[in-house]
Amino acid sequence: MFSWWIAGEVLMQAMSSHEWLQSSSTFVASLFNQRRYLIDDLVIGDYGGECSEIAEFEGAVCRCNQGGRTIYMKSFGEDYRAVHIKEGTLSFDSWICYTNDITLLPPLNGLTVLLTDSQLAMEAAKTMIASATAALRDDGDHASKHLFNIKTALSTTNGAHDKLLAFMRRIRVHAVAGTVTEAMLDVPNVNFIDP
């Protein structure tokens, strides 16, 4: 039902100008003449026909009828309202028209449990986190690499197993790195990375 409503809104906007409705060829030409359709907070477009190299250099969408290059992620919050997810925007270059060859790789969610009652474990974790952060610096090219999310949790040595299970109930954890306890190694469905 939602997709039909969007299609109807786009059609209504596309037919809103009498100038575009003079003939079928004028209407078809108008569809790909640097068009963007705005429906509430949803943007459909850009669509662009032929244009000069200068216009293309300045950011015009040329020779492309595939629409926008930005994905906005939202989650449903209180009263089922869509709420924008912080850092939930993914954009592709406007000069890439067809996205058939683009594969979005799933993120790898990593967790490091900082054992606060062990100075040696804290120093090891601090060094590992600094190294991983430097190695995994984000260059914005989300289409050609895996995203690696690193979360940290504070715990005592005795509470580390329960802390890991609590994290796994809230978010999907693929790998645990850093200093771990024997009890943590018994947790199923997670990979442990040995530094």
The rounded percent of the chain whose pLDDT value lies above 90 is 15
Cα–Cα separations (whole angstroms), residue 182 to 62, 63, 164, 179? 59, 59, 12, 10
59-115: pLDDT as tens digits: 666 777 666 667 777 778 888 887 877 777 777 766 677 777 777 667 788 898 999
Give start and end residues of each alpha helix (H) in the chain: 2-14, 24-31, 53-57, 119-135, 160-170, 182-185
Tell me the mean pLDDT in the region 143-162.
81
pLDDT at 192 over 60: yes
Q: Which amino acid is at 157?
A: T
Contacts of 150 (CB under 8 A, 6+ apart): 110, 111, 112, 129, 132, 133, 136
- Residue pair 90/57 in contact by the 8 Å Cβ criterion: no
36-54: pLDDT as tens digits: 666 666 666 666 667 777 7
Instruction: Give me 179's structure tokens.
Output: 């200093």
Rounded to the nearest integer, the mean pLDDT of the chain is 76
pLDDT for the residue numbered 195: 59
Radius of gyration of the chain measured on its C-alpha atoms: 24
- Residue pair 135/128 in contact by the 8 Å Cβ criterion: no
Q: Which residue has the higher pLDDT, 93 or 186?
A: 186
Q: Distance between alpha carbon 171 and the CA centroid of its chain, in Å?
A: 16
CA distance 85 to 66: 25
Backbone φ, ψ for residue 130 (5° rounding): -65, -40
Q: Where are the domains of the chain?
A: 2-91, 108-193
CA distance 135 to 141: 15
